[in-house]
Each structure stands twice: as structure tokens, then as C-alpha cells.
Structure 1
Amino acid sequence: MSWQEYVDKSLLGSGNLDKGAIITAGGDAIWAITPGFDIQGDETKKIAAALAGGEAEDKMRADGIYIAGERFTFVQSRERHIYGRKDKEGIVIVKTKQAVVIGHYGEKVQPAHAASTVEQLADFIIQSGY
């Protein structure tokens, strides 16, 4: 499967997400993305830096998560993920060894279902060596 197929089938095909992307762990390239999900290069770099922890994560926690020009409130982070909300929509970001999986869900989706979908794809990518 190609990276784009993972976004299209595993993320969007679940029905739990309406937009998705897979970027490099360093945030310097986008491997696959939903058309119209206009994530900018500086946004990917900030996401990658925040997932590494430290000051970048603290700044994102204070300023919010910016994805495709939209601001999401920083809800929580753990060792490999960051979750954000904007009204009834949300964002799930999960890091693997070499990639970051990003999923956006709409207001009719339970956040836990969206998170599970992104986490499962990230687990699969890790098992595949990425």
C-alpha cells in the first residue's frame, strides 16, 4: 500500500476521520495528504518539534495547535501523541519512528473513535518498520 492509500483507506475509510496526512517525523516533508487539507511546512515542523517535547511542546500547549491555518486548543499529550479540539471538531497527531500520522475529525465523531483510528494506523506503521 502507498502512503496515500493509508490515508484514504485506513483513516478516511474508517468513517471516523474526514481529513488526514502522513508527514515525516522531522516535519520536513508530507508523504500523503487529503486533498484540501492544506497543512503548511512551518506547521509540520512545529508539530514534529512539539512531539519531541521540551520548549516546543510547551509553546504549542500555550499557543494552540495550528493545522491548515486553523487553531486547535491543545488538549493533551503523551509520549507519542498530541490531541487538540476546536469547538466540536478535533485533531489527533501520533508519532511513529519515521512518520507522524495526523487525523481530523468532525463534530459527529466521538473523539475516542478518531483517536483509536489514528493510533491503530500508527501502530501498524511502527510494526512495518517506520
Structure 2
Amino acid sequence: MSWQAYVDTSLVGSGHVDKGAIISVAGDSVWATSSGFTVQPAEMKNIVDILNAQADVVSKAQADGIHIDGERYVLARIDGRSLYGRKGRTGICIAKTKQAVIVAHHGEAQVAGNATQTVETLADYLIKAGY
């Protein structure tokens, strides 16, 4: 399956996520993305640094929030390979695999827990597949 198919089918196609992207674990390239959903280079680098538990970056993110697609989200939780952010009734779910980082956004009409489960399930699948 192509990276774009994972975004279109596994993430957005689930109905629990309204847009998403898959980026490299180095935070230097976008492998696939939903139309109109842009994770900027500085945003990718910041996500990867947070997931790699760089203490100064994590502290800054906890104080200032994280930015995805130009929007600021309050960092709600960092949990090992994953992080979650909230902005009102919308949010982001991010999970790291061996080679990729899955970034997903859920809208107001979607349940955060369902979006989280969708992202974590895809991450587990990719890890088992060697990615």
C-alpha cells in the first residue's frame, strides 16, 4: 500500500480523522498528506524532538503548545511514542513508528478517543510491517 493510501484509507477513511499526514521519523520530509493539510518543516522537527523526549523541547511544548498546519494546540499528553494536542473541541494525535510519524487531526464532530485508537492501530500495523 502507498503512503498516501494509508492517509486516505486508514486515517481519513476511518471516519475518525478528518485530515492527516505521514512524515519521516527524521522530521525532514512529508511522505503523504491530506489535501490542504500542511505540516511545515519547523513543525515536523519540533514533533520529532518532542517524541525523542528532548527535555528542553518538551518543556517548551508544555508551556507554549505545539503547532501543526499553522494552528496552535495545547499539549495534552505525551505517552512514549505518542503525543496528543487539543484546540477547543478539535485535536491532533501523533504516533511514531520505526521510520515514520503519523500526524492526524480530528474535528469537532469526531471523538478524540476514536481518533487516537485509529492512529495507534495504524502505528502498530506499520511497526509490525517493519516501518
TM over 0.5: yes
Uncovered stretches (5+) of structure 1, i.e. residues with no partner: none
Counterpart residue identity of residue 80, structure 1: R
Counterpart residue identity of residue 28, structure 1: D
Q: Distance in 2 between matches of 1:113 and 1:125?
A: 18
Q: Counterpart of 1:40? A: 40
Q: Distance in 2 between matches of 1:127 and 1:10?
A: 16
Contact 1:17 1:103 in 2 (8 A): yes
Q: Counterpart of 1:108? A: 109
Shift of 1:110: 1.1
Number of equivalenced pairs: 130
Shift of 1:93: 0.4
Deviations 1:50-102 (A, max 9, x none): 00012212211111010010000000011100000001000000001111001
Q: Does 2:3 align with 1:27?
A: no
TM-score using structure 1 length: 0.98
Q: Counterpart of 1:18? A: 18
Shift of 1:120: 0.4
Consecutive aligned runs of 4 or more in structure 1 exceeding 4 Å deviation: none
Q: Counterpart of 1:50? A: 50
Q: Distance in 2 between matches of 1:100 and 1:23?
A: 5
Q: Distance in 2 between matches of 1:65 and 1:48?
A: 12
Shift of 1:24: 0.6
CA RMSD of aligned residues (A): 0.6
Q: Counterpart of 1:90? A: 91
Q: Distance in 1 between matches of 2:99 and 2:74?
A: 26
TM-score using structure 2 length: 0.97
- Identical counterparts, % of pairs: 50
Contact 1:26 1:49 in 2 (8 A): no
Q: Distance in 1 between matches of 2:45 and 2:17?
A: 22
